[in-house]
Chain A
Amino acid sequence: MRRFALIAIPYFWLLALFLVPFAIVFKISLSDIALSIPPYLPQLDLAKGWEGFTKFLGALDFENFEFLMMDDLYYKAYLSSLKIAAISTFLTLLIGYPIAYAMTRAGEEWRPTLLMLVILPFWTSFLIRVYAWIGILGQEGFLNQTLMFLGLTSEPLIILNTPIAVYIGIVYTYLPFMILPIYSALEKLDNSLLEAAEDLGCSRITAFWLVTFPLSRGGIIAGCFLVFIPTLGEFVIPSLLGGSNTLMIGKVLWDEFFSNRDWPLASAVAVILLLILIIPIILFQRNEQKQRESEG
């Protein structure tokens, strides 16, 4: 009995506040927009019993999904989100790997401090870290002032409100998510393997490609998913740094909901985003499982 209560409390909490809401999103994605409160039709009328239920089912349709297919704004937004997420994941890996690698090469006594320096930004407000870049990248921002002071450019570069600013913002805010898993993979690496490779005639660079890199693959995969998955639905970064030129699906959903007040269409956008995300999420889970098994 006690065991049942123990399981039931968190179980039902998650069912009610995580799973049921998704069912509602799916249902509303099949509804139509209406000038009522709440702004969609049909409403399930339980007072009419079975007849009310069948009538309710009959009024659901895939119109919103058809609309998403027809209007090229939406598939362009999905494609451009995928592109932005893929490119910025790659850039984050390119910048994060050398940092994680160098951290494990630093002396034993330095590592806790370095680790804390990577984690600290994670605890500071995401919003503030994105905001900081507005002041740097603007036309009269810190970067342009510095460049012009040094005489490197005569005219201010236009970076803010372009995709470049979005890439910078994503790499900056998600860098710790890339560094930490790679660091923990590299930290476990047995140094004698490298020494053995060098003894057997490998140069340091070959030893890196043949030994270090393959052994850190689990960390790389985990880091890439941790950056790629949340970036795909990102809202704050494109809306603060990307301006109107950057099309990302998280922003489209937000505008559809808050500006156009088209709740059924916003729900349909969410359902498709979820379908796109299922593949990387499952791959990520599998990678984590494999890591855990190889450790235990």
Chain B
Amino acid sequence: MRRLTWFNTTSLTLGFAFLYLPMVILVIYSFNSSKLVTVWAGFSTKWYGELMRNEAFLDAAWVTIKVAVLSSTFATVLGTLAAYVLVRAGRFWGRTLFSGMIYAPLVMPEVITGLSLLLLFIGIGLDRGVMTIVLAHTTFSMCYVSVVVSSRLATFDMSLEEAALDLGSTPFEAFRLVTLPIIAPAVISGWLLAFTLSLDDLVIASFTSGPSATTLPIKIFSAVRLGVSPEINALSTIMIAMVTIGVISASLISKRAAVRQRLEEQQAVRS
């Protein structure tokens, strides 16, 4: 490998500074004791205290987590099923339409998805609330899950499953005992992706939620429209910290799993 030229070093430095500096500034200002976000008046954690006492934010956070857990779980089941159909089911009537419906939501502008789902819910007379947001989030995030899972399924050695079937297991057992453990990493990352997509969504939730259910992004958006506030900075810092810890620990776990697998394989070869 050649050494990095000055050009490459500068573009990496500037690029990552651009990606991370705004978030660093946000985090720093969340510890500012002044109400004026622009003036530094000393270190303080009082905005975190204020945040913990803000009932409206806590309620919205609870609704958001409920929606995210439910919708990402449904999306993982449906998305894995859809991926299985895409990769394994062969030809069936309307296959092109099916794969189109899997890929189209990935690039569909959120305003259109939100509007169309809302009109559907109104049309069939469904009351808007937590349930309608869950339905909406499940629908768009199952497509992400199925893209992630189908790329793993495509590289999967089918003879393993056939061997299980030859040895007398039912198709369901073969899926549960052979296929699922192998595609599990993709299924888990699909769930995580669906979970963060749901946590993050403002537009679709705004269309499909009713007055009874306000999610955190909706709450943040209406607060932010009035300008910068230290409480939102504190909330953002907590969310950034959670994501960072989550992503880093997930990558450490998968790295460790890979190392262990390699050791086991080496031992198997030796014995």
Q: Which of B46-54, B111-119, B159-167, B180-188 contacts A (4 or more CB under 8 A)?
A: B111-119
In terms of DSSP, what is the predominant structure of the interface of chain A?
A: helix
Question: Total number of A-B contacts with CB less than 8 angstroms?
Answer: 226
Find out whether the CB atom of A108 lies under 8 angstroms from the CB atom of B1: yes
Known: A19-B101, A22-B116. A10 touches B81 (CB 8 A): yes
Q: What residues on A are CB-neighbors of B26 within 8 Å?
A: 128, 131-132, 135
Find out whether the CB atom of B101 lies under 8 angstroms from the CB atom of A14: yes
Distance between Cα atoms of A76 and B49 in the complex (Å): 46
Find out whether the CB atom of B119 lies under 8 angstroms from the CB atom of A263: yes
Distance between Cα atoms of A68 and B110 in the complex (Å): 21
- Interface membership of chain B positions 107-151, coded 1 if the CB is closer than 8 angstroms to chain A and 0 otherwise: 111111001110110110000000000011001001000100000
The yes or no answer to A182 lying at the interface (CB within 8 A) is no
Distance between Cα atoms of A285 and B104 in the complex (Å): 9
Find out whether the CB atom of A125 lies under 8 angstroms from the CB atom of B85: no
Q: Which of A53-61, A137-145, A210-218 contacts B (4 or more CB under 8 A)?
A: A137-145
**B8-22 interface (Cβ within 8 A of A):** 8-9, 11-12, 15-16, 18-20, 22
Q: Which of B55-63, B225-233, B259-267 contacts A (4 or more CB under 8 A)?
A: B225-233
Q: What residues on A are CB-neighbors of B196 within 8 Å?
A: 123
**A1-37 interface (Cβ within 8 A of B):** 2-3, 6-7, 9-11, 13-15, 17-22, 24-25, 28
Cβ-defined partner of B11 (8 Å) among A98, A108, A121, A233: A98
Find out whether the CB atom of A127 lies under 8 angstroms from the CB atom of B78: no
Cβ-defined partner of A102 (8 Å) among B4, B142, B200: B4
Find out whether the CB atom of A125 lies under 8 angstroms from the CB atom of B217: yes
Q: What residues on B are CB-neighbors of A235 within 8 Å?
A: 110-111, 203
Q: What residues on A are CB-neighbors of B206 within 8 Å?
A: 258
**A45-84 interface (Cβ within 8 A of B):** none
Find out whether the CB atom of A121 lies under 8 angstroms from the CB atom of B112: no
Cβ-defined partner of B200 (8 Å) among A24, A125, A172: A125
* Minimum C-beta distance from B52 to chain A (A): 19
Interface size on B, residues (CB 8 A): 80
Known: A95-B15, A102-B8, A131-B224. A6 touches B85 (CB 8 A): yes
- Interface membership of chain A positions 107-140, coded 1 if the CB is closer than 8 angstroms to chain B and 0 otherwise: 1100010101111110111111101111110101
Q: What residues on B are CB-neighbors of A226 within 8 Å?
A: 107
Find out whether the CB atom of A25 lies under 8 angstroms from the CB atom of B116: yes
The yes or no answer to A232 lying at the interface (CB within 8 A) is yes
Cβ-defined partner of B247 (8 Å) among A2, A106, A119, A263: A119
Distance between Cα atoms of A102 and B1 in the complex (Å): 12
The yes or no answer to A270 lying at the interface (CB within 8 A) is yes
The chain A residue sitting closest to B195, CB to CB, is A123
Find out whether the CB atom of A2 lies under 8 angstroms from the CB atom of B105: no
Q: What residues on B are CB-neighbors of A131 within 8 Å?
A: 26, 220, 224, 228, 232, 236
Known: A10-B85, A250-B109. A134 touches B228 (CB 8 A): yes
The yes or no answer to B98 lying at the interface (CB within 8 A) is yes
* Minimum C-beta distance from A41 to chain B (A): 14
Q: What residues on A are CB-neighbors of B103 within 8 Å?
A: 285
The chain A residue sitting closest to B39, CB to CB, is A140
Find out whether the CB atom of B78 lies under 8 angstroms from the CB atom of A230: no
The yes or no answer to A236 lying at the interface (CB within 8 A) is yes
Q: What residues on B are CB-neighbors of A10 within 8 Å?
A: 78-79, 81-82, 85, 98, 142, 146
Q: What residues on A are CB-neighbors of B248 within 8 Å?
A: 116
Interface positions of A (Cβ within 8 A of B): 2-3, 6-7, 9-11, 13-15, 17-22, 24-25, 28, 38, 95, 98-99, 101-103, 105-108, 112, 114, 116-121, 123-129, 131-136, 138, 140-142, 145, 172, 175-176, 225-226, 229-230, 232-236, 239-240, 250, 253-254, 257-258, 263, 266-267, 270, 273-274, 277, 281, 284-285
